[in-house]
Structure formats: C-alpha cells, structure tokens
Amino acid sequence: MAFLTLLFNQVLLFLLILTLCGILYKKVRKEAVLKHEAGKQACVHLCLGAGEMAQRLSRGVFFFFSFCHLYRKWIEHSKLKEINFKIVEFNPIVLKGKIRPDSSRPELLQPLNFVRFYLPLLIHQHEKVIYLDDDVIVQGDIQELYGTTLALGHAAAFSDDCDLPSAQDVDRLVGLQTTYMGYLDYRKKTIKDLGISPSTCSFNPGVIVANMTEWKHQRITKQLEKWMQKNVEENLYSSSLGGGVATSPMLIVFHGKYSTINPLWHIRHLGWNPDARYSEHFLQEAKLLHWNGRHKPWDFPSVHNDLWESWFVPDPAGIFKLNHNS
C-alpha cells in the first residue's frame, strides 16, 4: 500500500489514448472526413484498451480520451470507473485544407488519425505523454514505457521499423514497408531535396512517448502542418502508403531526431496480413501489441482476436458486442 502511494506520488504517468473514431465504419464517405462525428465502435476499442490498462495500472495513470463524450456513461458505469480520466475534445477544423481527399484507404483520413500532431493543444499540464493508437493493447506495465529516455533535444520516441521480429516469430509479413521509400514519393523534387536516403528505416507513430516542452520548443505541430499542406499542393506521399497518411509527415519532421522505444513495447503488424501469425511464445513476451494494417481485431479477417477480446469491457447499455467471426 505504501508502495502504491509512493508510486502515486512520484510517478507522473500520463497516457493519451487515441481513438481513430470512424476507422471502423466500413464505408467512410469522403465528404464526411472533416465532420465531427463519433464512430460508435471506435470507442469500444478505445475503452477496451482503457479497461485493460486500468486493471494493470490502477492509480498512477491518468487517461486522456479524445472524442469519447458519448461514452462517458460507459466509463462511469463499468469497471472502467476505477480509472482517472479526462475527455479532451479535438476540433477537426484545424485540419481544414491540410488533408488530400484521395487516399486509397479513406478511413485513414479520419480527423482522429491526426490527434497525435496536436498533443500540446490537448494536454497542457503534463510534460511527458504517451500516445497510443486505438488498435493496441498493453500487456506490460506501462510505467516501463513511460520510463523511455528521450535524448536531449528529442521531442519524441518511436519504434524503428528495422526492429522487426525475426523470421521464426512470424512468417508471411511480405510487402511490409520499412523504409522512407514506402511513405514518400521520391520522384518528387521536394522529397528528393530533403536529402533523406530512401532506404532509411521508417518508424511507426502508433506508439509515441513525447516531451511536450521540447515539442512546443521545436514547433513540431507547425512543422507537421506545413508538410500536410505541402502534400495537398504537391502530392508528396507514396501511393502505396502502407502505414497511413499520418506517418509520412512525421517521418519528415522527426528524421534523425527521435529516440527509440524498446521493440517489445511495440510489437506491430498484427493487422498486416490475416495469414501471418506470431508465435504464442513471442506474443506472451510482448509488452504491447498493435494491429496496424487493414485487418483490425474487431473485423474479419484478422488474427489473434482472442488476445484482443479477452479485454472486452461490456458497456452498460449492451450496444457493443464481440463479433465472433473467426
């Protein structure tokens, strides 16, 4: 108990959970992209994550949810009520004119995909923040992740795409994009002029440990917005876009200026290929699992749904149910 109290006093652990609301809508209408709408199911996943973590973390953690107003009741009337949380609102108007509507995966254009660009606008009182996508579950003690050291002058830490699991842990992850070439169109002069080698390892911004002081100091948000705008004008991202439209500007802005996260804290590509499974042993060791890719654990086909579903927190209204598709 004393230990817990000590922990509570000493550890400032702040967690931002993102929801890419609407990513779950099967049919996303392009014209709806900038509308301020909550995707019902997205909040399921958001809250799933929260429930899972609440059990592990108890009081040292503060959760920020973007865009979950409709589900306050859910949090307050289920076992999620134990968590400290705040719902922060993200106004998608800031994105106006910064998103090209012609993506091959329109769900990635959802405003909440870009919440991570605006962390200091949403969270004021905390210097160190963890951002998580809505398609992750945390298996380890998140204080370890929070303890990730950021080098002097670094505003964020990410997991490097060259830290991929070895071949015996997963097969058939073919077509993975692991370099800048997968995200940026190197035929464009603006991209060539950056002087970044196309074979540079990319990183995955679905899990971020960030320093808000440094972020503001380097005006990261402004820089990201600049590249979003440039992309609207010049179409700079690679058309294959394995990782989504939020990754490309981050790769440019953070190039050579980020710290790294322990690879076990970001085991990813679980949504990459419905035929590629990680070994059970490997998954047990993993601290955090990320279903990036098209095959989400709440959809079919997808893999390792059992791991996801074991954290399901039923909502009091009974609107959300598990789909046992697989």
Ligand X SMILES: *[C@@H]1O[C@H](CO)[C@@H](O)[C@H](O)[C@H]1NC(C)=O
Q: Which of 213, 235, 240, 279 binds ligand X (CB under 6 A)?
A: 213
Instruction: Select the span of 45-53, 87-95, 208-216, 315-323 touching ligand X (CB under 6 A).
Output: 208-216
Q: Which of 59, 100, 126, 128 binds ligand X (CB under 6 A)?
A: 128
Instruction: Select the span of 181-189, 206-214, 260-268, 272-280 touching ligand X (CB under 6 A).
Output: 206-214
Instruction: Select the span of 36-44, 103-111, 210-218, 236-244 touching ligand X (CB under 6 A).
Output: 210-218
Residues β-bridged to residue 208: 131
CB of 257 to ligand X, least distance (A): 12
CB of 214 to ligand X, least distance (A): 4
Q: Are 208 and 116 in contact (CB under 8 A)?
A: yes
Per CB under 6 A, 283 contacts ligand X: no
Q: Which of 127, 144, 275, 280 binds ligand X (CB under 6 A)?
A: 127
Distance CA 15, CA 251 (A): 23
Beta pairing class for 156-160 and 13-17: unpaired
Radius of gyration of the chain (CA): 19
Return the beta strands (E) in the chain as ranges: 13-17, 61-66, 84-88, 128-132, 136-138, 156-160, 203-211, 259-260, 288-290
Per CB under 6 A, 87 contacts ligand X: no
Nearer to ligand X by Cβ, of 211 and 305: the residue is 211
Per CB under 6 A, 202 contacts ligand X: no
Neighbour-count burial of 35, counting CB atoms closer than 10 A to its CB (0-12 exposed, 13-18 middle, 19+ buried): exposed
Q: Which of 214, 234, 285, 309 binds ligand X (CB under 6 A)?
A: 214
Q: Which of residues 138-197 bind ligand X (CB under 6 A)?
A: 150
Nearest of 69, 73, 67, 121 to residue 94 by alpha carbon: 121
Site size toward ligand X (CB under 6 A) is 6
Distance CA 219, CA 140 (A): 32
Name residues whose C-beta falls within 8 Å of residue 68's C-beta, 6 or more positions apart in sequence. 19, 38, 43, 46, 47, 75, 87
Q: Residue 241 region, left (φ>0) first, then alpha (ψ -120 to 50), else beta?
A: left
Instruction: Select the span of 48-56, 162-170, 207-215, 291-299 touching ligand X (CB under 6 A).
Output: 207-215
Distance CA 44, CA 25 (A): 13
Nearer to ligand X by Cβ, of 160 and 214: the residue is 214
Structure tokens that stand for 46 in this block: 């958001």
Nearer to ligand X by Cβ, of 13 and 47: the residue is 13
Query: What is the distance of C-alpha 272 from the center of its chain?
Result: 15
CB of 91 to ligand X, least distance (A): 26
CB of 240 to ligand X, least distance (A): 35
Per CB under 6 A, 211 contacts ligand X: yes
Look at the chain and count its residues: 326
Nearer to ligand X by Cβ, of 127 and 275: the residue is 127
Instruction: Select the span of 96-104, 211-219, 276-284, 300-308 touching ligand X (CB under 6 A).
Output: 211-219
Distance CA 297, CA 307 (A): 9
Per CB under 6 A, 11 contacts ligand X: no
Residues that bind ligand X (CB under 6 A): 127-128, 150, 211, 213-214
